[in-house]
Chain A
Protein backbone atom coordinates (compact mmCIF):
# COMPACT_ATOMS: atom_id res chain seq x y z
CA UNK A 1 0.00 0.00 0.00
CA UNK A 2 1.56 3.28 -1.00
CA UNK A 3 1.62 6.53 0.97
CA UNK A 4 -0.64 8.35 -1.47
CA UNK A 5 -3.48 5.93 -0.77
CA UNK A 6 -2.81 6.19 2.98
CA UNK A 7 -3.06 9.97 2.77
CA UNK A 8 -6.34 9.77 0.89
CA UNK A 9 -7.76 7.44 3.53
CA UNK A 10 -6.46 9.73 6.28
CA UNK A 11 -7.98 12.83 4.70
CA UNK A 12 -11.31 11.05 4.30
CA UNK A 13 -11.25 10.00 7.95
CA UNK A 14 -10.43 13.59 8.99
CA UNK A 15 -13.15 15.01 6.74
CA UNK A 16 -15.69 12.58 8.22
CA UNK A 17 -15.38 14.42 11.55
CA UNK A 18 -14.24 17.95 10.69
CA UNK A 19 -14.94 19.49 14.09
CA UNK A 20 -13.23 16.68 15.95
CA UNK A 21 -10.22 16.85 13.63
CA UNK A 22 -9.97 20.60 14.15
CA UNK A 23 -10.19 20.31 17.93
CA UNK A 24 -7.59 17.56 17.90
CA UNK A 25 -5.25 19.60 15.74
CA UNK A 26 -5.91 22.67 17.90
CA UNK A 27 -3.45 21.47 20.55
CA UNK A 28 -0.71 21.32 17.95
CA UNK A 29 -1.86 24.58 16.35
CA UNK A 30 -1.58 26.40 19.67
CA UNK A 31 1.67 24.65 20.53
CA UNK A 32 3.42 25.45 17.26
CA UNK A 33 2.00 28.98 17.17
CA UNK A 34 3.10 29.60 20.76
CA UNK A 35 6.62 28.28 20.18
CA UNK A 36 7.06 30.52 17.12
CA UNK A 37 5.58 33.61 18.79
CA UNK A 38 7.48 33.11 22.06
CA UNK A 39 10.81 32.59 20.32
CA UNK A 40 10.08 35.63 18.15
CA UNK A 41 9.44 37.72 21.28
CA UNK A 42 12.58 36.40 22.99
CA UNK A 43 14.79 37.00 20.00
CA UNK A 44 13.18 40.37 19.41
CA UNK A 45 14.00 41.40 22.98
CA UNK A 46 17.56 40.28 22.45
CA UNK A 47 17.89 42.20 19.20
CA UNK A 48 16.42 45.34 20.76
CA UNK A 49 18.73 45.18 23.78
CA UNK A 50 21.77 44.50 21.63
CA UNK A 51 20.94 47.41 19.39
CA UNK A 52 20.47 49.77 22.33
CA UNK A 53 23.63 48.70 24.09
CA UNK A 54 25.59 49.00 20.85
CA UNK A 55 24.14 52.44 20.23
CA UNK A 56 25.76 53.54 23.49
CA UNK A 57 29.10 52.94 21.80
CA UNK A 58 30.88 49.66 21.41
CA UNK A 59 34.24 48.77 22.90
CA UNK A 60 33.49 51.16 25.68
CA UNK A 61 34.82 51.11 29.25
CA UNK A 62 32.95 53.38 31.63
CA UNK A 63 34.51 54.45 34.88
CA UNK A 64 32.14 55.73 37.55
CA UNK A 65 33.13 57.48 40.74
CA UNK A 66 32.49 55.31 43.77
CA UNK A 67 32.71 51.58 44.44
CA UNK A 68 30.01 49.25 43.26
CA UNK A 69 28.07 47.82 46.18
CA UNK A 70 25.58 45.08 45.45
CA UNK A 71 25.02 46.35 41.97
CA UNK A 72 24.69 50.08 42.58
CA UNK A 73 27.22 52.81 42.89
CA UNK A 74 27.42 54.00 46.47
CA UNK A 75 27.86 57.47 47.92
CA UNK A 76 28.30 58.77 44.44
CA UNK A 77 28.21 62.42 45.42
CA UNK A 78 30.70 62.00 48.19
CA UNK A 79 33.35 60.48 45.98
CA UNK A 80 35.36 63.35 44.60
CA UNK A 81 38.48 61.45 43.63
CA UNK A 82 37.72 61.01 39.93
CA UNK A 83 38.98 64.02 37.98
CA UNK A 84 39.63 65.35 34.53
CA UNK A 85 43.32 64.74 35.19
CA UNK A 86 42.52 61.04 35.64
CA UNK A 87 40.95 61.13 32.18
CA UNK A 88 44.09 62.64 30.68
CA UNK A 89 46.26 60.07 32.46
CA UNK A 90 44.10 57.27 31.06
CA UNK A 91 44.46 58.69 27.56
CA UNK A 92 48.24 58.83 27.96
CA UNK A 93 48.92 55.56 29.79
CA UNK A 94 46.30 52.96 28.91
CA UNK A 95 47.12 51.06 25.69
CA UNK A 96 44.57 50.88 22.90
CA UNK A 97 42.61 53.99 23.94
CA UNK A 98 41.11 55.85 20.98
CA UNK A 99 38.93 58.32 22.84
CA UNK A 100 38.22 59.58 26.36
CA UNK A 101 35.20 61.53 27.50
CA UNK A 102 34.81 62.80 31.03
CA UNK A 103 31.43 63.89 32.26
CA UNK A 104 29.77 65.53 35.21
CA UNK A 105 25.99 65.26 35.42
CA UNK A 106 23.40 66.39 37.90
CA UNK A 107 19.67 67.05 37.89
CA UNK A 108 18.84 70.74 37.60
CA UNK A 109 16.06 73.17 36.80
CA UNK A 110 16.09 74.48 33.22
CA UNK A 111 13.89 77.46 32.35
CA UNK A 112 12.86 79.03 29.05
CA UNK A 113 10.43 81.94 29.28
CA UNK A 114 7.50 80.58 31.27
CA UNK A 115 8.38 76.89 30.72
CA UNK A 116 10.62 74.98 33.06
CA UNK A 117 11.79 71.39 33.25
CA UNK A 118 13.75 69.39 35.79
CA UNK A 119 16.24 67.46 33.75
CA UNK A 120 19.75 66.05 33.70
CA UNK A 121 22.42 68.61 32.96
CA UNK A 122 25.60 66.96 31.68
CA UNK A 123 28.93 68.68 31.43
CA UNK A 124 30.86 66.97 28.65
CA UNK A 125 33.89 67.42 26.42
CA UNK A 126 33.92 67.59 22.58
CA UNK A 127 34.97 63.95 22.42
CA UNK A 128 31.65 62.93 23.95
CA UNK A 129 30.12 62.85 20.46
CA UNK A 130 32.38 60.14 19.12
CA UNK A 131 32.94 58.17 22.33
CA UNK A 132 29.25 57.88 23.30
CA UNK A 133 28.07 57.83 19.70
CA UNK A 134 25.61 60.63 20.48
CA UNK A 135 25.75 63.57 18.11
CA UNK A 136 24.21 66.97 17.51
CA UNK A 137 21.39 66.78 14.96
CA UNK A 138 21.38 70.50 14.28
CA UNK A 139 23.82 73.20 15.33
CA UNK A 140 27.34 72.60 16.64
CA UNK A 141 28.49 70.44 19.53
CA UNK A 142 30.65 71.77 22.35
CA UNK A 143 34.10 72.84 21.12
CA UNK A 144 37.52 73.03 22.76
CA UNK A 145 37.15 76.80 22.74
CA UNK A 146 33.91 76.45 24.74
CA UNK A 147 35.79 74.31 27.29
CA UNK A 148 38.61 76.82 27.59
CA UNK A 149 36.32 79.81 27.98
CA UNK A 150 33.76 77.95 30.14
CA UNK A 151 31.24 79.16 27.58
CA UNK A 152 27.61 79.41 28.57
CA UNK A 153 26.34 77.36 25.64
CA UNK A 154 24.02 74.38 25.74
CA UNK A 155 22.67 71.63 23.51
CA UNK A 156 19.25 70.23 24.28
CA UNK A 157 18.06 66.64 23.91
CA UNK A 158 14.95 65.92 21.84
CA UNK A 159 12.70 65.53 24.86
CA UNK A 160 13.83 68.78 26.45
CA UNK A 161 13.58 70.57 23.11
CA UNK A 162 10.01 69.30 22.76
CA UNK A 163 9.06 70.54 26.22
CA UNK A 164 10.73 73.93 26.17
CA UNK A 165 10.32 74.75 22.49
CA UNK A 166 7.12 73.03 21.33
CA UNK A 167 7.24 75.06 18.15
CA UNK A 168 10.08 77.09 16.70
CA UNK A 169 13.82 76.62 16.48
CA UNK A 170 15.65 76.33 19.84
CA UNK A 171 18.96 77.44 18.35
CA UNK A 172 19.91 80.95 19.43
CA UNK A 173 17.35 80.97 22.25
CA UNK A 174 18.40 81.78 25.79
CA UNK A 175 17.63 79.37 28.59
CA UNK A 176 18.39 79.55 32.29
CA UNK A 177 20.08 76.69 34.12
CA UNK A 178 20.19 77.21 37.92
CA UNK A 179 19.62 80.88 37.22
CA UNK A 180 22.51 81.26 34.80
CA UNK A 181 21.70 82.21 31.22
CA UNK A 182 22.91 79.85 28.45
CA UNK A 183 22.59 80.14 24.69
CA UNK A 184 21.22 77.08 22.91
CA UNK A 185 23.65 76.19 20.12
CA UNK A 186 22.26 72.86 18.98
CA UNK A 187 19.74 70.05 19.31
CA UNK A 188 20.87 66.44 19.90
CA UNK A 189 19.80 63.53 17.70
CA UNK A 190 17.10 61.27 19.05
CA UNK A 191 18.40 58.28 21.05
CA UNK A 192 15.26 56.73 22.44
CA UNK A 193 14.98 55.14 25.84
CA UNK A 194 17.34 52.71 27.48
CA UNK A 195 15.34 50.63 29.90
CA UNK A 196 13.38 53.10 31.99
CA UNK A 197 15.50 56.15 31.38
CA UNK A 198 14.83 58.57 28.56
CA UNK A 199 18.19 59.37 27.03
CA UNK A 200 16.78 62.38 25.22
CA UNK A 201 15.78 64.06 28.49
CA UNK A 202 19.12 65.86 28.86
CA UNK A 203 20.91 69.18 28.38
CA UNK A 204 24.60 69.21 27.44
CA UNK A 205 26.97 72.01 28.49
CA UNK A 206 30.79 72.26 28.42
CA UNK A 207 32.35 70.20 31.26
CA UNK A 208 34.32 73.19 32.59
CA UNK A 209 31.15 75.32 32.66
CA UNK A 210 29.28 72.61 34.58
CA UNK A 211 32.08 72.15 37.11
CA UNK A 212 32.89 75.78 37.79
CA UNK A 213 29.84 77.86 36.92
CA UNK A 214 26.95 75.53 37.61
CA UNK A 215 27.82 73.06 40.36
CA UNK A 216 31.12 74.32 41.83
CA UNK A 217 32.98 71.03 41.83
CA UNK A 218 36.45 69.85 40.77
CA UNK A 219 35.73 66.21 40.09
CA UNK A 220 33.87 64.31 37.39
CA UNK A 221 31.12 61.73 37.70
CA UNK A 222 32.22 59.37 34.95
CA UNK A 223 34.93 58.81 32.37
CA UNK A 224 34.05 56.94 29.21
CA UNK A 225 36.96 55.30 27.46
CA UNK A 226 36.80 54.11 23.88
CA UNK A 227 39.09 51.17 23.07
CA UNK A 228 40.32 50.43 19.53
CA UNK A 229 39.25 46.79 19.29
CA UNK A 230 37.34 44.32 21.41
CA UNK A 231 40.46 42.11 21.72
CA UNK A 232 42.19 44.89 23.67
CA UNK A 233 39.31 45.38 26.11
CA UNK A 234 40.47 43.05 28.87
CA UNK A 235 44.04 44.35 28.90
CA UNK A 236 42.84 47.97 28.72
CA UNK A 237 40.44 47.43 31.62
CA UNK A 238 43.25 46.05 33.78
CA UNK A 239 45.64 48.86 32.82
CA UNK A 240 42.96 51.47 33.47
CA UNK A 241 42.37 50.07 36.94
CA UNK A 242 46.07 50.18 37.76
CA UNK A 243 46.39 53.77 36.54
CA UNK A 244 43.48 54.92 38.68
CA UNK A 245 44.57 52.99 41.81
CA UNK A 246 48.02 54.49 41.54
CA UNK A 247 46.71 57.99 40.96
CA UNK A 248 44.24 57.68 43.82
CA UNK A 249 47.04 56.31 46.05
CA UNK A 250 45.09 53.25 47.06
CA UNK A 251 47.01 50.72 49.14
CA UNK A 252 46.70 47.05 48.09
CA UNK A 253 44.24 46.39 50.95
CA UNK A 254 41.89 49.17 49.94
CA UNK A 255 38.96 48.64 47.60
CA UNK A 256 38.62 50.57 44.36
CA UNK A 257 36.98 53.98 44.82
CA UNK A 258 35.64 53.71 41.28
CA UNK A 259 33.70 51.21 39.21
CA UNK A 260 34.60 50.08 35.73
CA UNK A 261 31.75 48.91 33.56
CA UNK A 262 32.55 47.06 30.38
CA UNK A 263 29.95 47.54 27.59
CA UNK A 264 30.79 44.08 26.26
CA UNK A 265 29.99 42.59 29.67
CA UNK A 266 26.72 44.50 29.79
CA UNK A 267 25.87 43.30 26.32
CA UNK A 268 26.76 39.75 27.21
CA UNK A 269 24.69 39.87 30.37
CA UNK A 270 21.68 41.18 28.45
CA UNK A 271 22.20 38.61 25.72
CA UNK A 272 22.39 35.71 28.13
CA UNK A 273 19.31 36.94 29.99
CA UNK A 274 17.30 37.16 26.81
CA UNK A 275 18.70 33.80 25.68
CA UNK A 276 17.45 32.25 28.90
CA UNK A 277 14.13 33.99 28.41
CA UNK A 278 13.83 32.64 24.86
CA UNK A 279 14.59 29.10 25.97
CA UNK A 280 12.15 29.42 28.87
CA UNK A 281 9.33 30.81 26.73
CA UNK A 282 10.01 28.30 23.98
CA UNK A 283 10.11 25.50 26.54
CA UNK A 284 6.76 26.44 28.03
CA UNK A 285 5.32 26.60 24.53
CA UNK A 286 6.84 23.21 23.72
CA UNK A 287 4.99 21.73 26.68
CA UNK A 288 1.72 22.80 25.08
CA UNK A 289 2.88 21.03 21.93
CA UNK A 290 3.30 17.83 23.92
CA UNK A 291 -0.16 18.34 25.42
CA UNK A 292 -1.38 18.66 21.83
CA UNK A 293 0.29 15.34 21.07
CA UNK A 294 -1.57 13.70 23.93
CA UNK A 295 -4.79 15.08 22.42
CA UNK A 296 -3.91 13.40 19.14
CA UNK A 297 -3.17 10.12 20.89
CA UNK A 298 -6.49 10.30 22.73
CA UNK A 299 -8.48 10.85 19.54
CA UNK A 300 -6.54 8.22 17.63
CA UNK A 301 -7.34 5.67 20.35
CA UNK A 302 -11.03 6.61 20.06
CA UNK A 303 -10.75 6.37 16.30
CA UNK A 304 -9.19 2.90 16.45
CA UNK A 305 -12.01 1.71 18.69
CA UNK A 306 -14.65 3.28 16.46
CA UNK A 307 -13.13 1.81 13.35
CA UNK A 308 -12.38 -1.65 14.69
CA UNK A 309 -14.74 -3.16 12.16
CA UNK A 310 -13.09 -1.28 9.32
CA UNK A 311 -9.75 -2.63 10.48
CA UNK A 312 -11.25 -6.13 10.47
CA UNK A 313 -12.53 -5.68 6.91
CA UNK A 314 -9.15 -4.42 5.73
CA UNK A 315 -7.38 -7.34 7.36
CA UNK A 316 -9.85 -9.83 5.87
CA UNK A 317 -9.18 -8.58 2.35
CA UNK A 318 -5.43 -8.81 2.80
CA UNK A 319 -4.07 -5.84 4.77
CA UNK A 320 -0.94 -6.71 6.68
CA UNK A 321 -0.15 -5.35 10.12
CA UNK A 322 2.24 -2.81 8.66
CA UNK A 323 -0.45 -1.59 6.25
CA UNK A 324 -2.78 -0.85 9.17
CA UNK A 325 0.08 0.62 11.23
CA UNK A 326 1.06 2.90 8.37
CA UNK A 327 -2.52 3.99 7.75
CA UNK A 328 -3.12 5.10 11.33
CA UNK A 329 0.32 6.64 11.61
CA UNK A 330 -0.27 8.65 8.44
CA UNK A 331 -3.55 9.74 9.95
CA UNK A 332 -2.06 11.05 13.18
CA UNK A 333 0.80 12.69 11.28
CA UNK A 334 -1.72 14.30 8.92
CA UNK A 335 -3.46 15.76 11.96
CA UNK A 336 -0.22 17.07 13.42
CA UNK A 337 1.06 18.38 10.07
CA UNK A 338 -2.23 20.19 9.45
CA UNK A 339 -1.96 21.59 12.95
CA UNK A 340 1.67 22.49 12.30
CA UNK A 341 0.92 24.36 9.08
CA UNK A 342 -1.93 26.32 10.66
CA UNK A 343 0.23 26.87 13.76
CA UNK A 344 3.10 28.31 11.71
CA UNK A 345 0.65 30.74 10.10
CA UNK A 346 -0.81 31.61 13.50
CA UNK A 347 2.66 32.09 15.02
CA UNK A 348 3.74 34.44 12.24
CA UNK A 349 0.51 36.45 12.34
CA UNK A 350 0.61 36.40 16.16
CA UNK A 351 4.11 37.82 16.40
CA UNK A 352 3.26 40.52 13.85
CA UNK A 353 0.23 41.48 15.93
CA UNK A 354 2.30 41.51 19.11
CA UNK A 355 4.84 43.89 17.61
CA UNK A 356 2.10 46.08 16.21
CA UNK A 357 -0.10 46.35 19.29
CA UNK A 358 2.30 45.79 22.18
CA UNK A 359 5.13 47.63 20.46
CA UNK A 360 7.62 44.84 21.19
CA UNK A 361 10.26 43.98 18.69
CA UNK A 362 9.74 40.43 17.42
CA UNK A 363 12.20 38.54 15.27
CA UNK A 364 10.82 35.58 13.32
CA UNK A 365 13.50 33.00 12.80
CA UNK A 366 13.29 30.38 10.07
CA UNK A 367 15.10 28.03 12.41
CA UNK A 368 12.42 28.30 15.10
CA UNK A 369 9.64 27.87 12.55
CA UNK A 370 11.29 24.80 11.06
CA UNK A 371 12.01 23.38 14.49
CA UNK A 372 8.43 23.87 15.69
CA UNK A 373 7.12 22.23 12.53
CA UNK A 374 9.48 19.26 12.71
CA UNK A 375 8.64 18.88 16.39
CA UNK A 376 4.93 18.86 15.49
CA UNK A 377 5.48 16.08 12.96
CA UNK A 378 7.53 14.17 15.51
CA UNK A 379 4.72 14.59 18.04
CA UNK A 380 2.33 13.09 15.46
CA UNK A 381 4.57 10.08 14.94
CA UNK A 382 5.35 9.59 18.61
CA UNK A 383 1.81 9.90 19.92
CA UNK A 384 0.33 8.14 16.90
CA UNK A 385 2.53 5.10 17.25
CA UNK A 386 0.77 3.47 20.18
CA UNK A 387 -2.79 3.77 18.76
CA UNK A 388 -1.52 2.60 15.36
CA UNK A 389 0.15 -0.41 16.92
CA UNK A 390 -3.02 -1.21 18.77
CA UNK A 391 -4.93 -1.10 15.49
CA UNK A 392 -2.34 -3.22 13.71
CA UNK A 393 -2.43 -5.90 16.41
CA UNK A 394 -6.20 -6.35 16.35
CA UNK A 395 -7.35 -9.90 15.70
CA UNK A 396 -9.31 -9.80 12.42
CA UNK A 397 -12.04 -12.16 13.70
CA UNK A 398 -12.62 -10.10 16.82
CA UNK A 399 -12.46 -6.91 14.78
CA UNK A 400 -15.01 -8.16 12.24
CA UNK A 401 -17.45 -9.14 14.97
CA UNK A 402 -17.09 -5.73 16.68
CA UNK A 403 -20.30 -3.74 16.71
Chain B
Protein backbone atom coordinates (compact mmCIF):
# COMPACT_ATOMS: atom_id res chain seq x y z
CA UNK B 1 0.00 0.00 0.00
CA UNK B 2 2.02 2.93 -1.23
CA UNK B 3 0.40 6.32 -0.95
CA UNK B 4 1.09 9.94 -0.05
CA UNK B 5 3.20 10.10 3.13
CA UNK B 6 1.86 11.88 6.13
CA UNK B 7 4.11 11.54 9.13
CA UNK B 8 6.32 8.71 7.95
CA UNK B 9 9.14 8.83 5.49
CA UNK B 10 8.49 10.55 2.18
CA UNK B 11 6.20 8.51 -0.05
CA UNK B 12 5.59 5.79 2.58
CA UNK B 13 2.30 5.58 4.46
CA UNK B 14 2.57 4.25 8.02
CA UNK B 15 1.47 0.66 8.34
CA UNK B 16 -0.27 1.29 11.63
CA UNK B 17 -1.73 4.66 12.43
CA UNK B 18 -3.65 4.94 15.71
CA UNK B 19 -4.96 8.34 16.70
CA UNK B 20 -6.50 9.20 20.04
CA UNK B 21 -7.65 5.64 20.62
CA UNK B 22 -9.81 5.10 23.71
CA UNK B 23 -11.06 1.85 25.11
CA UNK B 24 -13.62 1.86 27.86
CA UNK B 25 -14.90 -1.40 29.35
CA UNK B 26 -18.04 -1.66 31.34
CA UNK B 27 -17.63 -4.21 34.09
CA UNK B 28 -20.53 -4.65 36.50
CA UNK B 29 -21.69 -1.12 35.77
CA UNK B 30 -18.25 0.37 36.49
CA UNK B 31 -16.42 2.02 33.62
CA UNK B 32 -12.80 0.97 33.24
CA UNK B 33 -10.60 3.10 31.03
CA UNK B 34 -8.13 0.65 29.52
CA UNK B 35 -6.79 3.07 26.95
CA UNK B 36 -6.87 6.87 27.26
CA UNK B 37 -6.33 8.50 23.90
CA UNK B 38 -3.21 6.77 22.68
CA UNK B 39 -1.62 7.59 19.33
CA UNK B 40 0.89 5.26 17.74
CA UNK B 41 2.36 4.99 14.27
CA UNK B 42 4.41 2.05 13.09
CA UNK B 43 6.24 1.93 9.78
CA UNK B 44 6.60 -1.24 7.69
CA UNK B 45 9.43 -3.47 8.88
CA UNK B 46 9.71 -1.98 12.36
CA UNK B 47 10.44 -4.17 15.39
CA UNK B 48 8.56 -2.63 18.29
CA UNK B 49 8.49 -3.80 21.89
CA UNK B 50 5.52 -2.69 23.94
CA UNK B 51 6.21 -2.73 27.66
CA UNK B 52 4.42 -1.79 30.81
CA UNK B 53 3.06 -3.21 34.04
CA UNK B 54 -0.03 -5.39 34.20
CA UNK B 55 -3.19 -3.39 33.60
CA UNK B 56 -1.32 -0.62 31.82
CA UNK B 57 -3.35 -1.21 28.65
CA UNK B 58 -0.70 -2.93 26.55
CA UNK B 59 -2.79 -6.07 26.01
CA UNK B 60 -5.86 -4.03 25.10
CA UNK B 61 -3.72 -2.11 22.62
CA UNK B 62 -2.52 -5.39 21.12
CA UNK B 63 -6.11 -6.67 20.77
CA UNK B 64 -7.07 -3.51 18.90
CA UNK B 65 -3.93 -3.65 16.77
CA UNK B 66 -4.77 -7.26 15.91
CA UNK B 67 -8.37 -6.38 14.93
CA UNK B 68 -9.68 -8.70 17.65
CA UNK B 69 -11.31 -5.74 19.37
CA UNK B 70 -12.62 -2.33 18.38
CA UNK B 71 -11.71 0.96 20.05
CA UNK B 72 -14.50 2.93 21.71
CA UNK B 73 -13.00 6.20 20.47
CA UNK B 74 -10.37 7.49 18.05
CA UNK B 75 -9.32 5.97 14.74
CA UNK B 76 -7.13 3.09 13.72
CA UNK B 77 -5.92 3.09 10.15
CA UNK B 78 -4.21 -0.06 8.92
CA UNK B 79 -2.46 0.11 5.56
CA UNK B 80 -4.58 3.10 4.66
CA UNK B 81 -7.89 1.49 5.67
CA UNK B 82 -9.87 2.77 8.62
CA UNK B 83 -10.62 -0.51 10.40
CA UNK B 84 -12.71 1.00 13.21
CA UNK B 85 -15.76 0.99 10.96
CA UNK B 86 -15.35 -2.48 9.44
CA UNK B 87 -17.76 -5.31 10.14
CA UNK B 88 -16.83 -8.67 11.68
CA UNK B 89 -16.40 -10.44 8.36
CA UNK B 90 -13.93 -7.81 7.11
CA UNK B 91 -12.01 -7.88 10.41
CA UNK B 92 -11.79 -11.68 10.19
CA UNK B 93 -10.42 -11.27 6.68
CA UNK B 94 -7.77 -8.78 7.87
CA UNK B 95 -6.74 -11.10 10.72
CA UNK B 96 -6.54 -13.91 8.21
CA UNK B 97 -4.52 -12.17 5.48
CA UNK B 98 -2.60 -9.33 7.13
CA UNK B 99 -1.93 -10.48 10.69
CA UNK B 100 0.01 -13.23 12.34
CA UNK B 101 -0.47 -13.96 16.03
CA UNK B 102 2.02 -15.51 18.43
CA UNK B 103 0.74 -16.08 21.98
CA UNK B 104 2.43 -16.77 25.29
CA UNK B 105 0.61 -20.10 25.61
CA UNK B 106 1.24 -21.03 21.94
CA UNK B 107 -2.48 -21.66 21.34
CA UNK B 108 -2.12 -24.61 19.01
CA UNK B 109 -5.15 -26.78 18.33
CA UNK B 110 -4.97 -29.89 20.51
CA UNK B 111 -4.90 -33.35 18.90
CA UNK B 112 -3.92 -31.70 15.63
CA UNK B 113 -0.53 -32.33 13.97
CA UNK B 114 1.90 -29.42 13.58
CA UNK B 115 1.41 -29.27 9.81
CA UNK B 116 -2.38 -28.98 10.14
CA UNK B 117 -2.03 -26.27 12.76
CA UNK B 118 0.06 -24.31 10.29
CA UNK B 119 -2.55 -24.92 7.57
CA UNK B 120 -5.35 -23.50 9.74
CA UNK B 121 -5.28 -19.89 8.44
CA UNK B 122 -5.19 -21.18 4.88
CA UNK B 123 -8.39 -23.16 5.48
CA UNK B 124 -10.19 -19.93 6.33
CA UNK B 125 -8.58 -18.19 3.35
CA UNK B 126 -10.15 -20.85 1.14
CA UNK B 127 -6.81 -22.14 -0.14
CA UNK B 128 -7.08 -25.72 -1.33
CA UNK B 129 -3.45 -26.58 -1.95
CA UNK B 130 -2.16 -25.98 1.55
CA UNK B 131 0.40 -28.68 2.18
CA UNK B 132 3.45 -27.31 0.32
CA UNK B 133 3.14 -23.81 1.78
CA UNK B 134 2.65 -25.17 5.29
CA UNK B 135 5.69 -27.40 4.83
CA UNK B 136 7.79 -24.45 3.70
CA UNK B 137 6.66 -22.43 6.72
CA UNK B 138 7.61 -25.27 9.09
CA UNK B 139 10.98 -25.62 7.35
CA UNK B 140 11.62 -21.91 7.81
CA UNK B 141 11.36 -22.36 11.59
CA UNK B 142 13.48 -25.52 11.51
CA UNK B 143 10.70 -28.05 12.21
CA UNK B 144 10.71 -30.05 8.97
CA UNK B 145 11.29 -33.20 11.04
CA UNK B 146 8.34 -32.58 13.35
CA UNK B 147 5.52 -32.00 10.88
CA UNK B 148 3.26 -34.82 12.04
CA UNK B 149 3.89 -34.43 15.75
CA UNK B 150 0.97 -33.47 17.94
CA UNK B 151 1.36 -30.41 20.20
CA UNK B 152 1.63 -32.72 23.22
CA UNK B 153 4.63 -34.42 21.58
CA UNK B 154 6.50 -31.13 21.12
CA UNK B 155 8.56 -29.10 23.58
CA UNK B 156 7.47 -25.55 24.49
CA UNK B 157 10.02 -24.02 22.14
CA UNK B 158 8.93 -26.31 19.30
CA UNK B 159 5.27 -25.48 19.91
CA UNK B 160 6.08 -21.78 19.77
CA UNK B 161 7.94 -22.30 16.51
CA UNK B 162 4.86 -24.08 15.07
CA UNK B 163 2.85 -21.03 16.17
CA UNK B 164 5.34 -18.75 14.40
CA UNK B 165 5.11 -20.87 11.25
CA UNK B 166 1.30 -20.54 11.48
CA UNK B 167 1.66 -16.77 11.87
CA UNK B 168 3.90 -16.59 8.80
CA UNK B 169 2.14 -18.96 6.43
CA UNK B 170 -0.22 -16.34 4.99
CA UNK B 171 2.69 -13.89 4.44
CA UNK B 172 1.24 -11.22 6.74
CA UNK B 173 2.42 -7.65 6.95
CA UNK B 174 2.33 -7.63 10.77
CA UNK B 175 3.15 -10.25 13.37
CA UNK B 176 1.80 -9.55 16.85
CA UNK B 177 3.59 -11.46 19.58
CA UNK B 178 2.06 -11.35 23.05
CA UNK B 179 4.72 -12.43 25.58
CA UNK B 180 5.98 -15.10 23.16
CA UNK B 181 8.80 -16.18 25.48
CA UNK B 182 6.86 -15.99 28.74
CA UNK B 183 6.71 -19.77 29.15
CA UNK B 184 10.18 -20.57 27.83
CA UNK B 185 13.67 -20.95 29.31
CA UNK B 186 16.32 -18.39 28.42
CA UNK B 187 18.04 -20.39 25.70
CA UNK B 188 14.79 -21.29 23.93
CA UNK B 189 13.51 -17.72 24.37
CA UNK B 190 16.63 -16.51 22.64
CA UNK B 191 15.95 -18.84 19.68
CA UNK B 192 12.39 -17.55 19.39
CA UNK B 193 13.59 -13.95 19.52
CA UNK B 194 16.10 -14.73 16.78
CA UNK B 195 13.22 -15.95 14.61
CA UNK B 196 11.23 -12.74 15.25
CA UNK B 197 14.30 -10.67 14.53
CA UNK B 198 14.83 -12.50 11.24
CA UNK B 199 11.21 -11.84 10.32
CA UNK B 200 11.52 -8.11 10.88
CA UNK B 201 14.67 -8.00 8.82
CA UNK B 202 12.69 -9.51 5.97
CA UNK B 203 10.31 -6.56 6.13
CA UNK B 204 7.54 -7.94 8.33
CA UNK B 205 6.50 -5.55 11.06
CA UNK B 206 6.83 -7.19 14.46
CA UNK B 207 5.03 -5.83 17.50
CA UNK B 208 6.05 -7.58 20.69
CA UNK B 209 4.51 -7.30 24.12
CA UNK B 210 6.84 -8.19 26.96
CA UNK B 211 7.77 -7.15 30.44
CA UNK B 212 11.25 -8.67 30.32
CA UNK B 213 13.94 -6.08 29.63
CA UNK B 214 16.36 -8.50 27.98
CA UNK B 215 13.67 -9.66 25.57
CA UNK B 216 12.66 -6.08 24.80
CA UNK B 217 16.32 -5.32 24.12
CA UNK B 218 16.08 -7.38 20.93
CA UNK B 219 13.58 -4.88 19.50
CA UNK B 220 14.58 -1.63 17.84
CA UNK B 221 11.91 0.58 19.35
CA UNK B 222 10.42 0.65 22.83
CA UNK B 223 6.92 1.84 23.67
CA UNK B 224 6.10 2.08 27.36
CA UNK B 225 2.51 2.00 28.64
CA UNK B 226 1.28 3.17 32.01
CA UNK B 227 -2.33 3.66 33.11
CA UNK B 228 -3.68 3.45 29.59
CA UNK B 229 -1.27 6.01 28.18
CA UNK B 230 1.99 5.83 26.24
CA UNK B 231 4.59 7.40 28.51
CA UNK B 232 7.72 6.64 26.52
CA UNK B 233 8.29 5.92 22.81
CA UNK B 234 11.83 5.88 21.46
CA UNK B 235 14.12 3.87 19.18
CA UNK B 236 16.86 1.82 20.83
CA UNK B 237 20.26 0.60 19.88
CA UNK B 238 22.68 2.03 17.39
Contacts and interface: CB of A to CB of B under 8 A. Distances in A.
Q: Do A and B come from one complex?
A: yes
A176 interface: no
Interface stretch (B12-20, B109-117, B213-221, B228-236): B109-117
B88 A317 contact: no
A156 to B, nearest CB: 75
A242 interface: no
A318 B93 CA distance: 6
Contact of B96 (A309, A312, A317, A321): A317
B101 A318 contact: no
A277 to B, nearest CB: 48
Q: Range of interface residues on chain A?
A: 20 to 34
A284 B12 CA distance: 72
B79 to A, nearest CB: 16
A310 B120 CA distance: 11
B110 A310 contact: yes
Nearest to A309: B107
A1 B108 CA distance: 19
A316 B178 CA distance: 13
A323 B124 contact: yes
B117 to A, nearest CB: 9
Interface residues of B, number: 27
A313 B102 CA distance: 11
B121 interface: yes
A150 B82 CA distance: 112
Given A1-B126, A12-B112, A397-B63, A318 B107 contact: no
A345 interface: no
A186 B135 CA distance: 89
A315 B166 CA distance: 14
B107 A314 contact: no
A2 B126 CA distance: 8
Contacts of A273: none
B111 A317 contact: no
A316 B124 CA distance: 11
Given A309-B107, A396-B68, A5 B123 contact: yes
Contacts of A321: 88-89, 92
A317 B130 CA distance: 15
B95 A313 contact: no
Q: What 9 A-B pairs have minimum CB-CB distances, sorted nearest first? A: A318-B96, A318-B124, A317-B121, A320-B92, A313-B107, A319-B124, A318-B95, A396-B68, A316-B101
Interface of B: 63, 66, 68-69, 88-89, 92-93, 95-97, 101, 103, 107-112, 120-121, 123-126, 166, 170
Given A318-B121, A400-B103, 9 more contacts: A309-B107, A315-B92, A316-B95, A318-B93, A318-B96, A318-B97, A318-B124, A320-B89, A320-B93
